[in-house]
Structure 1
Amino acid sequence: MKLFTTPFIVAIILILGSTMSSFSQDLDSTAKIDSLSNVYAEHVNTKPQEAKNAALLWLEECRRLDLKIQEARALYALGNLGNITGDYKSTIKYTNETITLLKESNIKKGLAACYNILASAYKSLGEYPKSIDNFMECLSYSRLTNNQAQEANAYQNIATLYLLQKDYKKSAENLDRAANLYRAIGDDDGVLTTLFNFANIMKEQGKFDQARKHYQTVLGYRLKEGNKAVVAYVNINLSQMLVLEEKCEEAVVTLKKTLALLEELKFNSDIAIVLNDLGLCETKLGHTKSAINYFQRALAIGEKQSLLHYKSDIYKNLAQLYQKENNYKKALEFYQKGVTSVANQNSIDKEKYVVKIQERYETELKEARIQLLEKEQKLSEAELQKVELTVKRQRLIRNALIAGFILVFTILIILRLSYVKRLRIQKELSFQQEKNAKQKISEMMKDHKLSVIERYQEGQDEERSRLAREIHDGIGSDLASIKIAFEHYTEQYKEDAQSKRIATAIDNACVDVRSLSHQLHPLPFSKIGFTSFLGDFVDQISKKSDLKIQTFFFPEEDIDKLPDELLADAYRIVQELINNILKHAEAKKVDVQLTKHTDHLNIVINDDGKGFQKNKKQGIGLRNIKERLQKLKGTLEIDSSPGHGTSITIDIPIN
């Protein structure tokens, strides 16, 4: 199971970057350092080897120029990269060097991020006591520096530790804390990461359908971003669910694709996880030799990366396979290694527990000594009190006079403050009443505008309905009569080519009239199926023009179940946008995507046309769409520039 947190590199670069103003160096060297850091940030999740090479050159240049803060940034970048690629030993090495540099420079900002990835590395190596210690350090520095992002990251990582212990309730509680902090600071990427870890909880509880839904949501966003690292992590978990569901043949195909991506990224620790899962699948499919090969490859990586908690499982799996092959010598050898690995892991936790007990004992001893010193101090103070008693009596009269004066002065101040406060409250009340009146007027104007829009759109719909009836009952009926009369008239000329062409033209006209009638005023979508009807409309547009239109509905069944009024507005919006593209965009390809979320319907339409300037005066079509969305309380976003096509995103609330 692969667990991950929000990438920290951007945060630490911003944090440490704020201290760089005191270091003025040669401009060319600074530009080189900035260039290397940009190369690292660009390739960290897609081409880790290129990112590592850039970070090493970055570090070398900083040490040459003796730039301590920049050196800390470069070291942190290398530690973060090790955490992503699974080289946890390098993460521990570089991150500890970063912490040392920051503390020597008396810089607290950035320490929270360092302790966070350090704890993540120890967690991945199975050293959970060290991991939790570093997470607590991260929380401490996050609160000290008011770094809500790193505090959220720490809660998220602590949640993964509880998940490993199968304490799903505490895991979910920590994820909720993290998600609330991410929302407070507007970190959508962090919220998406918590969604991934919520999916992990669902998976561990056996709620595969819910988990798969969350994974697919995360996968969709990460594919758009081109974040190969997270795409690989999601696919690992999706494949593991197939293994748990004993869909081994399907799992093998998915795991091999994921393995190819991980090998491209050189994520060694994750490769070991996938190889282990492939070994399990091949074991269940009865392919013993292939399973042994996968386990051996996983073991080689696990030993190199010191992955204790994975090694013990692989040893056990190999022992069982060799036992099936009647190779009892190797079976016993791997069984003993597995037992030793588990014992070593347990001994680490035990040693940590003993250290904790010793710390508590020493703390209690110190507290006892402090209590003795306090008692001795109290005895000395009792003798001093006798001497001070005489002095206090002399001071008592003087203090009484001073207190009386202060009391009178205080009363006068309180009366003055009370009067000023009453004046301020009256002024604020008057201002609030004026503000409420203005707000009420604004709401009334808004309601009136919405009412006008609704009446206008109702009039449009009624006119469309009337035109649809006129076309269907008038022109449609006339064409049908002409068709029947022509067929009767040409009965004796059935084989005549000219007659066939005219008959075909009449049929096409009938189809076009019926289609136009339905587009102007379609039947209730609950009867005809919204996605099917919209698909037919798109197909007709594609046939009549050079425009290639692709549609995506997810999930189709849930979209078709939406209220007819909402679907009618959605249909008009899509129809208006496609007509606009046909008239103005000069596009060759259009993608139409409708996605139903829990509380809203999302519509995304992309074209490869000529685009337009955002500040250009908008036509009637877009104005109609905006008025319709205003009635629905929906939102519209347009992303376009000349020569680069147009992307339109619309969200319509469901409730």
Structure 2
Amino acid sequence: MIATLRITISLFLALSFCNSGLCQEKSTQEVKLDSLFDEYINVVHASPVQAKLIADEILQISVENSYDIYAAKAHYLLGNLAYKKGEFSTTIEEINMAIDLLARNNVQEGLPACYNLLAVAYKNMGMLSEATEHFMSGLQLAKKLGDKRHEGNTYQNIALIYFQQQKYEQAMENLDRAKEIYKAINDESGLIDAMFNYANIHKEQGDYEQAREQYLKVLAYFERIEHYSKVAHVNINLSQMLIEEERYEEAVVQLKKTLQLLEKLSLHSDMAIVYNDLGLSNMKLGNLSVAIQYFDKALKLIDTANPPYFIGEVYQNLSQLYRMKGGYQKALFYYEQYVAYEESVNSLKKEKYQEELEKEYETALKETRIELLEREKSLKEAELQKSELQEKRQRLVKNVFIAGFLLVLITLIILRYFYVQKMKAQRRLAEQQEENSRQAINQLIKDYKLTVIERYQEGQEQERSRIAREIHDGIGSDLASLKMMLEHYLEHKGMDHNAGRIMIGIQNACKDIRNLSHQLHPLPFSQTGFSSFLKDFFAQKHNDGKLRINTFFFPEKDIDRLPDILLADIYRILQELVNNIVQHAEASEAEVQLTLHKAYINIVVNDNGRGMHQGKKASGIGLRNIRERLEALDGTMSIESSEKGTLVNIDIPLINHSNIISDEEAT
């Protein structure tokens, strides 16, 4: 299914730059830039390659002449082109640069468009929490600026988040809001995009007759204005309805025409959808070899890091096709891929349902506690009022209150003491059980220890990734939805003190969840820069407590070019060491050095804390995890500790990674 996301270019390009509040007469370069912007708009839908060359030229001229606003426009155009090609990470990078330039010049007019496109990119990466947050930021700013077109665009894009979650009523409500705004400002293209999304909902609900009628109206409009990418999107949806109606030969003809258009536009993510539909149609027609070729082409274009909804169907169909042709080995391979994919989907659904139950239980428990606290508060207020009326009993009431408070305090202290003792006993038991299990496992699989360590670490990374996704897509999405519903509610009821406090609490929770998920599963270091990522991590540790961390990375650029798998191990080692300092060292200052040599990388971490006991150097779980990780990397570690602090020195050879590093340097 292809949905229309509402992105506006012309309004952003209308943004002008004024110096010191007084608009200056445009220079020759500025006139040339305006001409290039007009040329971009004329070719962007028909020739994305030519549009990319124009946007690059605009950016070059803007940078050379220090035209920040024109540079912001250029970054927006490049982000839009990257989005059309399915390069969503590049879109996020370009739009963030545009936002920084606008903020630096105190310009707000282009921000709603930037937030809208940024949110659309996050949505297509499956990061619904971030998408909703940026949609809401853009919506608030559009309302503040009176930008009705972007307000309508945002409502339409929010509807697609609900559509993706199969919440069709909420999707319709937001589309209705967008439609009313487009009618008020006479925005024909906005109404057409809304009609396209209405048709998508009718299609998913099985109302093909009404969906086809709306699709054909939308198709005629996009063909008239020569918006070929959206022409392709409409044709894909029409073809998918033909497949659902078992009109496979008609679907094949339609899909082949659409594929030619997509190849000309270089829209690879949409080409994968068309290849899948062509494979399915030829499979139904009995053209088994042709179907296999199309499914294989679809798999080559699919991003395995963010697989589309139909990848399980592709695996299943390929398995069935190879079985019918007698290719049992490949049939078994694709069936195993299908089973693994289905198991991961079912596991995520089960865990999400369990988390929802736990959340409901915790909410009910908190509500009960709040009710008890309110009752206690009412009793205290009644006692105070009574003491004012009866001065003779004032001293007695105070004594009773103090005695009750002390009784509660003593009770809490006793309960906490027993709780702490119980937790210590459980921790000791767990540690003993873990040690016994580890000794038994090491005895049984001594010859395969390195393999087990590697798989264990891979499992940790996968679990962190899974938890991070669940936090983003589950709790994060729910909080963002709750925030949006509260804002809609407050639009009618008005803002009061308690509502403001609730809104701030929800925003802080969204921020904490985003930080936690990013720590559990950060973006690939090739995108963020490993040195920059570590500095942000240490800065967060400094903000969370009293520990000041000084860093020294040399050379930073060469370190950032190391393979992601090695950088991930280095990050986990540094994370464990810094967490140990924060939790146990009682240090006020620490230093982290990361030095890349020709044959190895050296890590030095030292602090001015109280030092480590001799026994903890070997028995700490964190240090054991580091040693196991270093054992898999053929690394070494030495620890020097005294009352003045601790110094950890680690060397990791680059022999196992030399091939990868050479390839990257060549690139």
Task: Name the TM-score, length of structure 1 as normaliser.
Answer: 0.51
User: Which residue of 2 is the match for residue 452 of structure 1?
Assistant: none
Structure 1 residue 18, shift from structure 2 partner: 7.5
Structure 1 residue 315, shift from structure 2 partner: 2.7
Structure 1 residue 175, shift from structure 2 partner: 1.0
User: Which residue of 2 is the match for residue 65 of structure 1?
Assistant: 65
Q: Which has the larger radius of gyration?
A: 1
**Cα distance in 2 between the residues matched to 1:284 and 1:182:** 42
**Cα distance in 2 between the residues matched to 1:94 and 1:64:** 18
**Cα distance in 2 between the residues matched to 1:350 and 1:114:** 36
- Structure 1 residues 17 and 264, CA, compared in 2 at 3 Å: closer, same or farther? farther
**Cα distance in 1 between the residues matched to 2:360 and 2:113:** 28
**Cα deviations across residues 542-563 of structure 1 (Å, max 9, x unaligned)?**
xxxxxxxxxxxxxxxxxxxxxx
Q: How does 1:302-321 map to 2 (within 5 A)?
A: 302-303=302-303, 306-321=306-321
Is residue 2:187 matched to residue 1:194?
A: no
**Cα distance in 1 between the residues matched to 2:170 and 2:42:** 36
User: Which residue of 1 is the match for residue 395 of structure 2?
Assistant: none
- Structure 1 residues 163 and 226, CA, compared in 2 at 3 Å: closer, same or farther? same
- Structure 1 residues 184 and 203, CA, compared in 2 at 3 Å: closer, same or farther? same
- Structure 1 residues 353 and 88, CA, compared in 2 at 3 Å: closer, same or farther? farther
User: Which residue of 2 is the match for residue 259 of structure 1?
Assistant: 259
Structure 1 residue 139, shift from structure 2 partner: 2.3
Is residue 2:224 matched to residue 1:224?
A: yes
SS in structure 2 of the partner of residue 137 of structure 1: helix
User: Which residue of 2 is the match for residue 96 of structure 1?
Assistant: 96
User: Which residue of 2 is the match for residue 611 of structure 1?
Assistant: none
**Cα distance in 2 between the residues matched to 1:243 and 1:20:** 60
- Structure 1 residues 236 and 81, CA, compared in 2 at 3 Å: closer, same or farther? same
SS in structure 2 of the partner of residue 309 of structure 1: coil
**Cα distance in 2 between the residues matched to 1:162 and 1:280:** 28
**Cα distance in 2 between the residues matched to 1:147 and 1:247:** 45
Asked if structure 1 preserves the Cα contact closer than 8 Å seen for 2:302 and 2:308, the reply is yes
Asked if structure 1 preserves the Cα contact closer than 8 Å seen for 2:95 and 2:118, the reply is yes
Structure 1 residue 177, shift from structure 2 partner: 0.9
- Structure 1 residues 310 and 54, CA, compared in 2 at 3 Å: closer, same or farther? farther
SS in structure 2 of the partner of residue 45 of structure 1: coil
Asked if structure 1 preserves the Cα contact closer than 8 Å seen for 2:319 and 2:334, the reply is yes
User: Which residue of 2 is the match for residue 38 of structure 1?
Assistant: 38
Asked if structure 1 preserves the Cα contact closer than 8 Å seen for 2:6 and 2:154, the reply is no
User: Which residue of 1 is the match for residue 210 of structure 2?
Assistant: 210
User: Which residue of 2 is the match for residue 134 of structure 1?
Assistant: 134
User: Which residue of 2 is the match for residue 641 of structure 1?
Assistant: none
**Cα distance in 2 between the residues matched to 1:354 and 1:73:** 46
**Cα distance in 1 between the residues matched to 2:353 and 2:22:** 45
Structure 1 residue 196, shift from structure 2 partner: 1.1
Instruction: Supply the AA of the counterpart residue of 1:178.
Output: A
Asked if structure 1 preserves the Cα contact closer than 8 Å seen for 2:239 and 2:254, the reply is yes
> Percent identical across equivalent pairs?
41
- Structure 1 residues 67 and 346, CA, compared in 2 at 3 Å: closer, same or farther? farther
**Cα distance in 2 between the residues matched to 1:195 and 1:52:** 29
**Cα distance in 1 between the residues matched to 2:214 and 2:334:** 38
- Choose 218-227 or 323-332, whichever is displaced more: 323-332
Instruction: Supply the AA of the counterpart residue of 1:210.
Output: Q
**Cα distance in 2 between the residues matched to 1:262 and 1:155:** 28
**Cα distance in 2 between the residues matched to 1:255 and 1:11:** 34
User: Which residue of 1 is the match for residue 244 of structure 2?
Assistant: 244
Instruction: Supply the AA of the counterpart residue of 1:292.
Output: I
Q: CA RMSD in A?
A: 4.3
**Cα distance in 2 between the residues matched to 1:114 and 1:356:** 33
**Cα distance in 2 between the residues matched to 1:152 and 1:310:** 30
Q: How does 1:260-275 map to 2 (within 5 A)?
A: 260-275=260-275
User: Which residue of 1 is the match for residue 533 of structure 2?
Assistant: none
**Cα distance in 2 between the residues matched to 1:78 and 1:345:** 34
User: Which residue of 2 is the match for residue 29 of structure 1?
Assistant: 29
- Structure 1 residues 106 and 17, CA, compared in 2 at 3 Å: closer, same or farther? closer
Structure 1 residue 231, shift from structure 2 partner: 1.4
User: Which residue of 2 is the match for residue 13 of structure 1?
Assistant: 13
- Size of the aligned set, in residue pairs, is 388
**Cα deviations across residues 83-121 of structure 1 (Å, max 9, x unaligned)?**
233332322221222233333434333222222222222
**Cα distance in 2 between the residues matched to 1:359 and 1:17:** 49
Structure 1 residue 79, shift from structure 2 partner: 1.1
User: Which residue of 2 is the match for residue 105 of structure 1?
Assistant: 105
User: Which residue of 2 is the match for residue 637 of structure 1?
Assistant: none
Structure 1 residue 360, shift from structure 2 partner: 12
Structure 1 residue 233, shift from structure 2 partner: 1.4
User: Which residue of 1 is the match for residue 53 of structure 2?
Assistant: 53
**Cα distance in 2 between the residues matched to 1:353 and 1:129:** 18
Structure 1 residue 251, shift from structure 2 partner: 0.6
Instruction: Supply the AA of the counterpart residue of 1:244.
Output: E
Q: How does 1:113-128 map to 2 (within 5 A)?
A: 113-128=113-128
User: Which residue of 2 is the match for residue 185 of structure 1?
Assistant: 185
User: Which residue of 2 is the match for residue 155 of structure 1?
Assistant: 155
Task: Name the TM-score, length of structure 2 as normaliser.
Answer: 0.51
Structure 2's unaligned 5+ residue stretches are 371-667
Instruction: Supply the AA of the counterpart residue of 1:89.
Output: S
Instruction: Supply the AA of the counterpart residue of 1:160.
Output: L
Q: How does 1:407-446 map to 2 (within 5 A)?
A: none
**Cα deviations across residues 446-471 of structure 1 (Å, max 9, x unaligned)?**
xxxxxxxxxxxxxxxxxxxxxxxxxx
**Cα distance in 1 between the residues matched to 2:158 and 2:98:** 22
SS in structure 1 of the partner of residue 303 of structure 2: helix
Structure 1's unaligned 5+ residue stretches are 371-655
Structure 1 residue 66, shift from structure 2 partner: 2.1
**Cα distance in 1 between the residues matched to 2:202 and 2:73:** 37
- Structure 1 residues 338 and 194, CA, compared in 2 at 3 Å: closer, same or farther? same
**Cα distance in 1 between the residues matched to 2:361 and 2:75:** 38
- Choose 265-274 or 129-138, whichever is displaced more: 129-138
- Structure 1 residues 96 and 127, CA, compared in 2 at 3 Å: closer, same or farther? same
User: Which residue of 2 is the match for residue 327 of structure 1?
Assistant: 327
- Choose 345-354 or 307-316, whichever is displaced more: 345-354
- Structure 1 residues 293 and 175, CA, compared in 2 at 3 Å: closer, same or farther? same
SS in structure 2 of the partner of residue 303 of structure 1: coil
**Cα deviations across residues 606-626 of structure 1 (Å, max 9, x unaligned)?**
xxxxxxxxxxxxxxxxxxxxx
